[in-house]
Amino acid sequence: MIGLTLKQLRYLDALARHGHFGRAAEACAITQPALSLQIKELEAMVGAPLVERGSRQIRLTPLGEDFVLRTRTILLGIDELEELVRASRGPLAGRLRLGVIPTIAPYLLPDIVKALSTRFPALDVELRESVTRSLIEDLLEARLDLAIVALPISEPALQEFALFEEDFLLVRPSEDAGKPVPSPEKLQAMRLLLLEEGHCFRDQALSFCKFTEAQPRQMMEGSSLSTLVQMVDAGMGVTLIPEMALGLETRSADVAVSRFPAPSPSRVVGMVWRKTNPLSDQFMQIGTIVKGLGQKAETVLA
């Protein structure tokens, strides 16, 4: 297929991911007609259709599905060649695509960006906040370079770097301040406020409380830790938050915060990246910087 270009392969990959010409064009920062023309030229070179065009969305043909799989392997290899060149030039520079889960991003990201700007002034950090599953998928498909998540991930293709461990804290209405901290079994009988499904912090909280299945009558869901804490302030139940969120989320809420007795619930926060990424040594440097920030951010309750 003489004439095939990497640009066409990236456009096809975007189309496969978004399932829509308009959204794929927006992601590629080109017009929809331009993207459509490039796909048609690619199909002409292949000699067969790669895309089944519908009125609202597209589907890949069987050939298109196989073609995209091999396309992503090629694109990943190209990206890693670019990273290899970057690694040979010394200090990190250029674009760094960093993903962070929502229960970490608001509390750690500002310090991370400041620290990286100081240590690597030529580095351009692009941030993405999303749930773990989405970040890991983007890492594996080379749409992200690094992600900060709760460990372990246990994905063979990814390198894990532990940053720090933090406890989970119990947040109750202020009138409960003097009451004993309930056991995990007693929490099952209380109205527990949780993040929506998809957040790993939700799963960790359920595991600590030893729930075997969801009990909608006793649970309520929120979209963020801030929402959960405000719901506690309104007397709607109790919740758990990671320790790093304490200062930001409770400063405007009249709530009581308590530690659990040992063994207290906790999580390990870490960084992950593809093992094949040539910038692994530089990522270890970033990990060391972030590890120091996490240790400084630890909160001590009175």
What CATH number corresponds to the domain at position 266?
3.40.190.290
Q: Provide the number of structural domains found in the chain.
A: 2
The pLDDT score that the predictor gives to residue 216 is 47
Is 127 within a domain? yes
Q: What pLDDT sits at residue 163?
A: 94
| 99 shares a domain with 45 | no
- 135: its two tokens: 């970040």
Same domain, 153 and 36: no
* pLDDT at 45 exceeding the cut of 50: yes
Q: Predicted confidence band at 302 (pLDDT cuts at 50, 70, 90)?
A: very low
Q: Whole-angstrom Cα distance, residue 51 to residue 74?
A: 19
Summarised one tens digit per residue, pLDDT across range 148-186 is: 999 999 999 999 999 999 999 999 999 998 899 998 888
**Residues 50, 111 share a domain:** no
Tell me what pLDDT residue 294 has. 67
Q: Considering the entire predicted model, what is its pTM?
A: 0.75
Q: Which pLDDT does position 90 carry in this prediction? A: 65
Q: Which residue has the tokens 């400041």?
A: 114
Assess contact for 173 and 256: CB atoms under 8 A. Answer: yes
Domain match, 122 and 37 both: no
Residue 299 and residue 223 share a domain: yes
Considering the domain architecture, whether residues 117 and 65 belong to the same structural domain is answered as no
Residues 112 and 30 in one domain: no
Question: Does residue 1 lie in a domain region?
Answer: no
Cα separation, 54 vs 284, whole angstroms:
46
In a shared domain, residues 121 and 69 = no
Residue at a domain's end among 35, 51, 85:
85
Q: Which domain holds residue 168?
A: 92-302
